[in-house]
């Protein structure tokens, strides 16, 4: 399973990139707005780090506008995936952009039917929003399982990107469901690394090692 960071903050990406666990980055207008920086400059900085997949979202809501923005975003760097919203216009734009070889991440997906349509128009990724469905009292991960099953039935090449991931259990469940990708905030990725027994175990190993290296010097009897 590929692990993506859900962020527009280059520092967070820089912190994780050297570990080798990161496969991509997803941004959205909210995350970009939070950075308070020029969108294109930000995208170029993230892509320059070597991240092979960087999702950047259009903000137009009509087909022509999405095509214009999508082509422009894709022209900025070969790693860019264009995010289009799951609307009628978003589907039409995805169809056209995909035919031009531009990889599209169809976002804001909340039903299996929407995911079916995303695959039909050739989206590279489909993004079901797990956490936001959970917030509405629905089982977000059940949707991921449903989509994975449907795509397997028809061998759709669209990759399932579990989005709106809120905690480490979501990541495990997405992996068990067979999601191709999970995108998560930096805080969640951090939590994947840590376990209190790992920290405790390491502390003990290091203490024992120190003790062995400094044996007590006790004078021999009779001297
Ligand atoms: C990623 O592509 C989505 O934009 C993101 O995961 C949404 O997450 P949120 O529901 O925590 O805002």
Interval 19-72: pLDDT, tens: 999 999 999 999 999 999 999 999 999 999 999 999 999 999 999 999 999 999
b/e code 10-48 from CB counts within 10 Å (16+ = b): bebbeebbeeeebbbbbbbeebbeeeeeebeebbeebbe
Q: How confident is the model at residue 219 (pLDDT cuts 50, 70, 90)?
A: confident
Report pLDDT for 223: 54
Task: Report helix, strand or coil for 50.
Answer: coil
* pLDDT tens digits, 71-126: 999 999 999 999 999 999 999 999 999 999 999 999 999 999 999 999 999 999 99
Query: Is residue 222 scored above 70 in pLDDT?
Result: no
Whole-number percent of the chain with pLDDT over 70 = 97
Please give the distance, rounded to the nearest whole angstrom, from the Cα atom of residue 33 to the centre of ligand 1. Answer: 14
Indicate whether residue 28 lines ligand 1 (CB < 6 A): yes
CB 128 within 8 A of CB 115: yes
Query: Is residue 221 scored above 80 in pLDDT?
Result: no
Catalytic residue ranges: 83
Structure tokens of 102? Answer: 């531009």
Indicate whether residue 183 lines ligand 1 (CB < 6 A): yes
Q: Domains, the chain, ranges and CATH?
A: 2-194 (3.20.20.70)
Helix ranges (DSSP H) in 59-162: 63-76, 88-99, 112-120, 130-135, 140-154
Residue 215's alpha-carbon distances to 18, 208, 211, 212, 223, in angstroms, are 38, 11, 6, 6, 19
Packing angle of the helix pair 39-48, 63-76 (nearest 10 deg): 40
Alpha carbon distance 145, 136 (integer Å) = 18
* pLDDT tens digits, 149-182: 999 999 999 999 999 999 999 999 999 999 999 9
CB 127 within 8 A of CB 111: no
Task: Output the residue whose Cα is nearest ligand 1's atom 11.
Answer: 164
Query: Is residue 127 scored above 90 in pLDDT?
Result: yes
Alpha carbon distance 85, 89 (integer Å) = 8
Q: How confident is the model at residue 213 (pLDDT cuts 50, 70, 90)?
A: confident
Please give the distance, rounded to the nearest whole angstrom, from the Cα atom of residue 40 to the centre of ligand 1. Answer: 20
pTM of the full structure: 0.93
DSSP 128: E
Indicate whether residue 74 lines ligand 1 (CB < 6 A): no
Please give the distance, rounded to the nearest whole angstrom, from the Cα atom of residue 204 to the centre of ligand 1. Answer: 39
Query: Is residue 218 scored above 80 in pLDDT?
Result: no
Query: Is residue 136 scored above 70 in pLDDT?
Result: yes
Q: How confident is the model at residue 214 (pLDDT cuts 50, 70, 90)?
A: low
C-alpha dihedral, 144 to 149 to 153 to 157, nearest 10°: 30
């Amino acid at each position: 399973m590929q692990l993506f960071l859900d962020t527009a903050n280059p520092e967070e990406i820089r912190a994780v990139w050297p570990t080798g666990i990161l496969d991509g980055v997803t941004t959205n207008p909210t995350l970009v707005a939070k950075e308070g920086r020029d969108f294109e400059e930000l995208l170029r900085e993230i892509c320059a780090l070597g991240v092979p997949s960087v999702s950047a979202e259009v903000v137009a809501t009509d087909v022509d506008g999405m095509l214009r923005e999508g082509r422009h975003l894709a022209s900025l760097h070969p790693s860019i995936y264009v995010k289009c919203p799951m609307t009628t216009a978003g589907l039409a734009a995805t169809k056209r952009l995909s035919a031009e070889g531009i990889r599209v991440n169809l976002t804001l997906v909340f039903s299996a039917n929407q995911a079916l349509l995303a695959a039909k128009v050739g989206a590279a990724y489909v993004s079901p929003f797990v956490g936001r469905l959970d917030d509405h009292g629905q089982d977000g991960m059940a949707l991921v399982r449903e989509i994975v099953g449907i795509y397997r039935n028809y061998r759709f090449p669209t990759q399932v990107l579990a989005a709106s991931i809120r905690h480490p259990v979501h990541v495990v469940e997405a992996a068990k469901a067979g999601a191709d990708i999970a995108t998560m905030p930096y805080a969640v990725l951090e939590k994947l690394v840590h376990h209190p027994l790992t920290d405790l175990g390491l502390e003990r190993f290091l203490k024992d090692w120190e003790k062995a290296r400094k044996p007590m010097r006790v004078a021999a009897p009779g001297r």
